[in-house]
Amino acid sequence: MASSSTTMRFSAASTGAAAALPRRSSVAGFIGVAARSSAKSRLRFIGRNANLSLRMRRMSSFSVVKCVSGSEAKVQDTVAKQQEATTSLSSFTPDASSIASSIKYHAEFTPLFSPENFDLPQAFLATAQSVRDSLIINWNATYDYYEKLNVKQAYYLSMEFLQGRALLNAIGNLELTGPYAEALSKLGHKLENVAYQEPDAALGNGGLGRLASCFLDSLATLNYPAWGYGLRYKYGLFKQRITKDGQEEVAEDWLEMGNPWEIIRNDVSYPVKFYGKVVSGSDGKKHWIGGEDIKAVAHDVPIPGYKTKTTINLRLWSTKAASEEFDLSAFNAGRHTEASEALANAEKICYILYPGDEPIEGKILRLKQQYTLCSASLQDIIARFERRSGANVNWEEFPEKVAVQMNDTHPTLCIPELMRILIDVKGLNWKDAWNITQRTVAYTNHTVLPEALEKWSLDLMQKLLPRHIEIIEMIDEELVRTIIAEYGTENSDLLEKKLKEMRILENVELTAEFADILVKSKEAIDIPSEELQSSEQAEAEDEKDDDEVEAVAKKNGTDESSIEDEKEELPEPVPEPPKLVRMANLCVVGGHAVNGVAEIHSEIVKDDVFNAFYKLWPEKFQNKTNGVTPRRWIRFCNPDLSKIITEWIGTEDWVLNTGKLAELRKFVDNEDLQVQWREAKRSNKVKVAAFIREKTGYSVSPDAMFDIQVKRIHEYKRQLMNIFGIVYRYKKMKEMSAAEREANFVPRVCIFGGKAFATYVQAKRIVKFITDVGATVNHDPEIGDLLKVVFVPDYNVSVAEMLIPASELSQHISTAGMEASGTSNMKFAMNGCILIGTLDGANVEIREEVGADNFFLFGAKAHEIAGLRKERAEGKFVPDPRFEEVKEFVRSGIFGSYNYDELMGSLEGNEGFGRADYFLVGKDFPSYIECQEKVDEAYRDQTKWTRMSILNTAGSYKFSSDRTIHEYAREIWNIEPVQLP
- Residues annotated as catalytic (active site), given as ranges: 446, 711-712, 717, 823, 827
Q: How far is Cα 638 from Cα 655, in angstroms, rounded to an integer?
A: 12
SS3 960: strand
Amino acid at 231: L
CA quadruple 600, 606, 608, 614: dihedral, nearest 10? 180
Q: What gap in Å lies between CA 470 and CA 461, rounded to an integer?
A: 10
Residue 327 CA to residue 337 CA, distance in Å, equals: 10
Residues 928, 721 contacting (CB under 8 angstroms)? yes
Asked if residues 30 and 22 have their Cβ atoms less than 8 Å apart, the reply is yes
User: Within 10 Å of residue 676's Cβ, how many Cβ atoms?
Assistant: 18
Q: Where are the alpha helices (DSSP H) in 150-297?
A: 167-173, 177-186, 191-195, 207-221
Q: Which residues 6+ apart lie within 8 Å of 321 measured at CB? A: 293, 294, 295, 342, 343, 345, 346, 347
Tell me the C-alpha distance between 144 and 861, whole Å: 52
Q: Exposed/middle/buried for 664, CB within 10 Å: 0-12, 13-18, 19+?
A: buried
Distances from the Cα of 260 to the Cα of 230, 275, 407, angstroms: 18, 36, 27
Quote the CA–CA distance of 166 and 143 in Å, as a whole number.
21
Identify the three-state secondary structure at position 779.
Answer: coil
- Of 955, 977, 980, nearest to 966 by C-alpha is 977
CA geometry: angle at 257 spanning 253 and 261, to 5°?
Answer: 100
402 neighbors 155 (Cβ within 8 angstroms)? yes
CB hemisphere CA count around 785 (13 angstroms): 9
d(CA 46, CA 18): 6
DSSP per residue, 573-640: PPPPPPPEEEHHHHHHHH-S-EEESSHHHHHHIIIIITHHHHHH-GGGEEE----B-HIIIIIIT-HH
Q: CB within 8 A of 247, min separation 6: which ones?
A: 240, 241, 755, 756, 764, 767, 768
The span from the first CA to the last CA of the chain, in angstroms, equals 36
- What is the residue type of 191? L
C-alpha span between 658 and 667 (Å, rounded): 17
In terms of Cβ atoms closer than 10 Å to its own Cβ (0-12, 13-18, 19+), residue 173 is: buried
What distances in angstroms separate CA 647 from CA 643, 684, 741, 828, one per listed residue? 6, 19, 40, 21
- Tell me the C-alpha distance between 378 and 366, whole Å: 19
The DSSP bridge partners found for residue 403 are 154
Instruction: Compute CA 681 distance to the chain's CA centroid, rounded to the nearest angstrom.
Output: 29
As a whole number of angstroms, the distance between CA 693 and CA 700 comes to: 8
DSSP 441-503: EEEE-----GGGS-EEEHHHHHHH-HHHHHHHHHHHHHHHHHHHHHH-SS-HHHHHHHHHHH-
Residues in CB range of 337: below 8 A, 6 or more apart: none
The Cα 838–Cα 826 span in angstroms is 14
